[in-house]
Every structure is written in C-alpha cells, then in structure tokens.
Amino acid sequence: MPAVDFIGETVIGFPDSIARNPRRHVMSRQGRAMGRIRSNASPTDLHARRIATAIAKSRPPAFSPDLQLYLESFPGEIFAALKGAARHMPPTGKDEALALGYLFLLQGLLEHLRYRADAVTPTPPG
C-alpha cells in the first residue's frame, strides 16, 4: 500500500486501486453521491428540500427548532428563496414541490423580517 508522508509525522496509506488512479476513484464517488443532497448546499436549499419532501408526501411542513432558528437568523436568504422558487416553478422549472418549499421559506423569512421591523420601529402616539 503506497503512503504519503506529511511533514515527517503523519503517514496516510492508500489502497492500491486509489494509488494507481486517484481521479477514477474520485469520479466514482461523485457518481454515487449525485442523488443525495450535496454538503455544500446552502441552508435555504436544505430546508426547501425537506419541506418539498413533506409536501410531496401530502404532509404539512414541520416547524422544527432548526427551521425556526433559520428563519430568525438568515434574513438575507430572502433573495435565495425567491430565486429558488422562480427556478423550480413550472413551466420553466420541473419540480413544483421544491418550488413550493422555497415559497414556504420565502413566506417565513418575510414574516420574520416584518416582526423585526415592527419591533424596531416605534409606533407614533395617537
């Protein structure tokens, strides 16, 4: 088994199949992961996919603490949610459930933005 020595301390061994052709190994691993959610997906994409899965199964989206924290913490994702909805909405897009997932997020993000704006803006006396 070939090995790589980093700074004279750490030795990492590779199976012979990877050492002979590392590019082939990486490509085969990418092919297997294509059906899964990519780890570099944004929080908006991950939440929209979870919501779309619930919608596709005719269930209401769950308001998890994770989703609540996202809606409160990421007001700048409003544009990403709008873009995702436009990208997936028929007739241009092919995934209506995912488009509805993005619209659900957009509605939640706008609602939380309004609450923040109302909390900061003083009401006039009267």
| Cα–Cα nearest to 119, from 78, 87, 72 | 72
The answer to whether the pTM exceeds 0.75 is no
Nearest to 47 by CA among 92, 98, 94: 98
Torsion from C-alpha of 27, 32, 35, 41, nearest 10 degrees:
-60
Could you state, in order of their start, the residue ranges of all structural domains in the chain?
3-33, 43-120
Name the DSSP class of 42: -
**Tens of pLDDT along the chain (126 residues)?**
444 444 544 444 445 544 455 444 444 444 444 445 556 789 999 999 999 999 999 999 988 999 999 999 999 999 999 999 999 998 888 899 999 999 999 999 999 999 888 888 777 776
